[in-house]
């Protein structure tokens, strides 16, 4: 009976310590999220812009002179960067939820680009062994992404939130 009490006490102590640590982690995450709510997460916006620029840059590297395998690898890499960019934008948008920011046109544009990339990668992977290989669609996606980047502010500063929101709300794609 005495042998059973010692492991039980250790298990109880470890359980209490873990519960305290988990509570501290959740409290930190809650306060961090609450502090950014309505102010805007500058880091998420910066990452969004950076990843969207990287997507555009990678799309510019997809050219006819590359081999099909090289272009397919570039497309997969670009698609991954686009998805990461979309996730960063969602985090930023959530941090601005209590403001009057209307980023509907940006959301529609990003979903259009994402769907177009998915379609084109599927089409190109299915005709991978054929000689016909058209990359003009990717040039168009790059140009449209560059246009969005031109319209978006380079950075977000909470002190300049009102002007930033007006700029985002005025974007029509």
- Closest Cα partner for 168 from 109, 101, 107, 111? 101
Specify whether the CB–CB gap between 78 and 117 falls below 8 A.
yes
* DSSP H stretches of helix in 127-173: 136-151, 161-169
According to the model, what pLDDT value does residue 1 have? 54
According to the model, what pLDDT value does residue 9 have? 73
According to the model, what pLDDT value does residue 122 have? 74
- For 95, other C-beta atoms within 10 Å of its C-beta total 23
Dist. CA 80–CA 51, nearest whole Å:
10
According to the model, what pLDDT value does residue 131 have? 45
- Closest Cα partner for 103 from 68, 56, 151? 151
Mean pLDDT, each 10-residue run in order, the chain (173 residues): 66 76 74 63 94 94 83 88 94 90 93 87 60 72 94 92 93 84
Dist. CA 74–CA 59, nearest whole Å:
7
* CATH of region 40-171: 1.20.120
Q: Degrees (nearest 5) of the Cα angle 88, 173, 46? A: 25
According to the model, what pLDDT value does residue 23 have? 78
- Closest Cα partner for 117 from 150, 146, 141, 86? 141
Domain ranges of the chain: 10-38, 40-171
Dist. CA 127–CA 133, nearest whole Å:
8
According to the model, what pLDDT value does residue 2 have? 60
Dist. CA 94–CA 88, nearest whole Å:
10
């Amino acid at each position: 009976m005495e042998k059973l009490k010692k492991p039980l006490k250790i298990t109880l102590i470890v359980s209490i310590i873990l519960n305290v640590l988990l509570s501290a982690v959740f409290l930190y995450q809650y306060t961090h999220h609450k502090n950014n709510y309505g102010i805007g997460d500058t880091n998420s916006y910066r990452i969004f812009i950076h990843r969207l620029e990287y997507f555009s840059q990678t799309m510019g590297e997809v050219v006819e002179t590359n081999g099909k395998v090289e272009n397919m690898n570039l497309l997969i890499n670009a698609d991954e960067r686009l998805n990461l960019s979309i996730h960063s934008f969602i985090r930023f948008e959530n941090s601005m939820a209590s403001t009057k920011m209307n980023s509907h046109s940006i959301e529609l544009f990003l979903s259009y680009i994402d769907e177009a990339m998915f379609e084109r990668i599927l089409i190109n992977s299915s005709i991978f062994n054929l000689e016909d290989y058209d990359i003009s669609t990717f040039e168009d996606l790059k140009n449209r992404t560059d246009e969005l980047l031109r319209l978006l502010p380079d950075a977000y500063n909470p002190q300049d939130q009102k002007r930033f929101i007006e700029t985002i709300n005025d974007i029509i794609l």
